[in-house]
A and B are shown apart, each in its own frame.
Chain A
Amino acid sequence: MRRNKQLERRITRERIEILLKQAMENIQDNPDRSRRYVSLAKKLALKYRIKIPKQYKKRICKKCNSFLGADNSLTRLKNKCVTVICLTCGNIIRIPYYGRKDRK
């Protein structure tokens, strides 16, 4: 029996979106559940080969799966990097940024 992969991917994309939204809502009230939702979304993305949407990707801690919001993360500009520190596990995410002069 043939699989309808397009349909699978469409459904999965929606599921990931739903899960991440739920994770975002549950950061404050129950952080454990929020982490569980993120890990479920990651599993789905891995299995059906779908990218996690760009707006969410930088807001997930790769180490502990927590969804980074205002309460559980610190954002600073350091050494030409946007530095995000996850306050649950201490993991540091660095996203470099450059001005026009620096790029040369």
Chain B
Amino acid sequence: MITTRIKPEYIVAHEVIGLDVEVVESPNKYTKGIRGKVVDETQNTIVVKTEKGEKRIQKRNNVFLFKFHGTPVRVKGDLIAFRPDDRVKKGLQMLKRWKR
């Protein structure tokens, strides 16, 4: 159960597995517009389950739109390009740096 209130910007540190995504911007026209549910994550990629099967999309250079606790959040892929367990520490650090 998620009891604590988490700000939408903390998605950088939070779990993306199980969330709905859409690729909003991409240099590759074939990955742009992919929509589905995240089923796996590695350092450089996320795996999205779509109607046409599972697609592995790179994080860098792409912009994602996650639906995080009901609110859509736009995230640059470069911000979440860390190992899934590293992201809690490094993601929060990046947020701090970005806020300054």
Contacts and interface: CB of A to CB of B under 8 A. Distances in A.
Interface string B4-42: 101000100111011000000000000000000001100
B78 to A, nearest CB: 19
B96 interface: yes
Given A43-B85, A47-B85, A11 B10 contact: yes
A36 B88 contact: no
Contact of A11 (B17, B39, B88, B93): B88
A10 interface: yes
A63 B96 CA distance: 39
Contacts of B14: 11, 14-15
Main secondary structure of the interface of A (DSSP, over half): helix
Interface residues of B, number: 20
Contacts of B93: 1, 3
A33 B37 CA distance: 14
A52 interface: no
Interface in A30-81: 33, 36-37, 40, 43-44, 47-48
A67 to B, nearest CB: 14
Interface in A11-25: 11-12, 14-15, 17-19, 22
Contacts of A40: 17, 84-85
A102 to B, nearest CB: 37
A8 to B, nearest CB: 5
Contacts of A15: 14-15, 88
